Amino acid sequence: MNLFSHTLLVGTVFLLTLKELTEACSCISFHPQDQFCRASVVIHAKVISKRFIQPNHERGDGKVVYGIKLIEVFKGIDKNNIIDSAYTSSQSASCGVELNVGNQVEYLLSGYLQENKLAISLCGLAKPWNQVTAFQIKGIRGFYQMGCACKITTCYSESCGTSAPNECILNFSLYETGPNGFESQNLACIQRKDDSCMWYPTSPSYTNHP
């Protein structure tokens, strides 16, 4: 391979890699409390079907519509409302979610309503129900809401300090973070009586904390 061909190949690979990085899905936080608080709807549902919608030329991608059976509502809608489907982008780069249909898996899902359909994405909750921890179930059924006024901030340094009283730091350098990380599975950022926020390992009692 001559120098020109080699340079051209390297340049092409670089541009393709750059394109993938710039088009990749980017989310603010993966902590379930943050996902719960940002969502307008949070539910427990069984996925029963899947179908594709042809690409929209203006948006540039297609949609996937999942048929769902509602089991429990945690936030955002009356339990008597009929929601029988959830939709998402068909492209993971556009934050599309891939759900298991074959075994009718139950999921914890979050998103927002649009025309009586739940819009979901990789930036929200889309977790198989059998992988949701007991602590997380307590959170979505009650005390996550107690921390929705708090701010969960991601830090990538070994020395992370809070910059505001209402802030909890999610430290990527010290713990396994993300959906399966220590903080995500075991901690909630809860607002105290003085409006400051702190990580708690269990549902707090205002009689025990200032």
pLDDT at 20: 37
Secondary structure class of 35 (helix, strand, coil): helix
pLDDT over 70 (residue 205):
no
Q: How many Cα atoms occupy the beta-carbon half-sphere of 168 within 13 Å? A: 25
pLDDT at 196: 92
Count CB-CB contacts under 10 A for residue 142.
Answer: 12
Secondary structure class of 112 (helix, strand, coil): strand
pLDDT at 34: 92
Percentage of the chain exceeding pLDDT 70: 73
pLDDT over 90 (residue 127):
yes
Token pair 């080699």 is found at: 6
CATH architecture of 41-130: Beta Barrel (2.40)
Of the listed ranges 13-22, 108-117, 153-162, the least confidently predicted one is 13-22
pLDDT at 103: 84
Task: Label residue 79 by pLDDT band (50, 70, 90).
Answer: low
Q: Which residue has the higher pLDDT, 6 or 154?
A: 154
Token pair 């340079």 is found at: 7
CA-to-CA distance for 77 and 168, rounded, in angstroms? 29
Q: Are 144 and 137 in contact (CB under 8 A)?
A: no
pLDDT at 98: 92
pLDDT tens digits, one per residue of 22-48: 357 877 667 899 999 999 999 999 999
CA-to-CA distance for 183 and 207, rounded, in angstroms? 24
The mean of the pLDDT values for the chain is 78
- Topology match between the domains 41-130 and 134-200: no
Task: Label residue 179 by pLDDT band (50, 70, 90).
Answer: low
CATH class of the domain at 134-200:
alpha beta
Percentage of the chain exceeding pLDDT 90: 40
Overall average pLDDT of the 48-74 stretch: 82
Report the alpha-carbon angle 179-35-47, nearest 5: 75
pLDDT at 156: 73
Domain ranges for the chain: 41-130, 134-200
pLDDT tens digits, one per residue of 108-123: 999 998 877 899 998 9
Secondary structure class of 31 (helix, strand, coil): coil
Task: Label residue 172 by pLDDT band (50, 70, 90).
Answer: low
- Which amino acid is present at 180? N
Overall average pLDDT of the 88-112 stretch: 90
